[in-house]
A and B are shown apart, each in its own frame.
Chain A
Amino acid sequence: MNLFLQQLVNGLSIGSIYALMAVGYSLVYSIMNFSNFAHGSVIMLGAYFGYYAMTILGLPFAGAAVAAALGSGLVAVALERLAYKPLRDRRAPFLYFIITAMGASMFIDNSVIATIGPTPKMYPEIFGQGPIALGQINVGRIDLAMLVISAASLAALILFIDYTRVGKAIQATAYNMKASALMGISPNFVVILVFAIGGALAGIAGILYGMKYQVFPQIGAITIKSFIAAVFGGLGSLPGALLGALLLGLLETFVSGYIPNGTQYRDLWVYLLLIIVLIVRPAGIMGKSSEDKA
């Protein structure tokens, strides 16, 4: 029983990381109807921004988190302005967006490798060392911190979207960009805002990821998991992304923990589930069933 509970905790801890990543990605998708495949690179940059904020600028965790969110938010907006907006203006086919996103992620990831280098870096231990024991179960300190921060960020986001005027403007634009523009909501403004928020969430996800594991340039590769999590939960749905991510984390952990040699095959199970979801219910758990899936 204890083994099971420990694995449960392990699974939720991985899931909460995926959640932060998936929500930012899903947010952008819900507005732009486009998968920002460069999201992973923004997350990775967040990890580095936070790291340097702590080590070179000597900021405490809160300051570093803000630095990471700001830095990543800026990068995301820059990406939008420089790479995606020109395509949008030209009504470029959907294919071009994906290609550009891929190019951007390749550019960012390898720039970091070529300049800072591929050797992983370690965040200073600010939450103290050693686990926190709840009976027989051990929870890492950083996991608890992450839980709190993720929950807070997501709550803030949902409150913002549902209860502020600007949030409603975002919802309106997601529903129908042209009509909202006619009602006086500037689509440009909304797009920039959405990318900024998505980027900020990515930045926080990055610094938390870096603290939980290590800081290295290939962090972006993890994000394929967050795409899958978002698909599970329903692309475009924020609560769905959260749910999908937690489920994914649990799935991974239980495959690894209970199936013999599971850790080697773990990702295979994830992809298998992805295919099943895409065939049976492409809208995901909480996605709106939309006709243009086909």
Chain B
Amino acid sequence: MTLAEPLLSVEDLVVRFRTHEGTIHAVNGVTFQLAEGERLGLVGESGCGKSVTNLALIQLLPKPAGRIEGGRVLFDGQNLTALREDELRAIRGRDIAMIFQDPMTSLNPVLTIEEQMVETIQAHKDIPKADARARAIELLSLVGIPKPETRLKSFPHQFSGGMRQRVMIAMALALQPRLMIADEPTTALDVTIQAQVLELLKDLTEELRTAMILITHDLGVVAGMTNRINVMYAGFIVESATTLDLFAEPSHPYTVGLLHSIPRLDAEEDEPLLPIEGRPPDMRHAPTGCTFAPRCRWRLETCWSQNPTLLPMVPGTPVVMTGPTATHQIACHNQPTAEERVAGRPLRPGFARAAAPPGVIDEVGAGHLGGTPDGFEGLVQSVQAEEGPISMAPSAGALPLPPEGEHHNDGVFHDQ
């Protein structure tokens, strides 16, 4: 427990993308903090805003479409949103480092590893080239690259995926940053390689006391790598807790739904899955009401019109934002009970999910209290006051962005 300023403080961050198709409300008011040396996981599916939040942190949103339209980001007391580009450049790399999902696109394919690493080091430290080179070799061996002196001369494409990611990590840690942001660092890797890279990441950040934000969709990965977790959905944080608390008492219907829809190695293999019905929302609409309502089994009438705020699970408890005693917070009008969490659906006698108002598509299958066996989607339920034909908008994952906001679909994935 420390009374010192947190290393990173994000306050009410709002990010929007202005495109000719309309405005995309990517991040809708996100608040969280990170202490020195702490590891935070940002978990969610594509389009939830986790990657955008991080790009916004270090002011790397694609311009001119992407803009921070509210809130601020305080790093070590400094407001990053108010800094000039050259001041930001000093911070990037030296204090905050980032590694991405696909090292092939974040490493320059026409430069050798040596050139890239030495360049990074010398950009922030005025040391002679020979020293920078020695440091590069040191880093490469730190991340477990065999024969680093010879591999310095290699090009990125001469490394395998796992090796490239290690090089990325080496470069990111070159200047011993205070904060490392890892955006889906292992999604494109085979599971055995993923284990290697995650272990490396964990050991190094612990050793160097680097704080880390780990962005991923994989609940298994965050379980082993983080101290705290923020679960994001449609640009909001819907649940925030320490890792132990989150898995011991997952409370938001979305978190509960996610945990019930993943096949687990430690479960019976024919344990039926309880998928979350429906699809992620279209981020082109400004949020009114709870963004998860169309897919939520616990929804009430007020969920359609009132967006719940992130509040402590036990009302009235003081909010601790960081550390092992961080408060378990959740944004929900109708929290599942302990038995319901375990069952994955509402169990209260007489509880019926609130119907959808006219003109709105109810993603949860018609007439089933506990959810249909496989979650039919696209079945339009109630009376629809539609003018004109409905067109199914592409999934909210379809942000018009370069690969940062997505995982999986970039062709680098398992090629067999």
A and B interact physically: no
Query: Chain B residues in contact with chain A, CB under 8 A?
Result: none
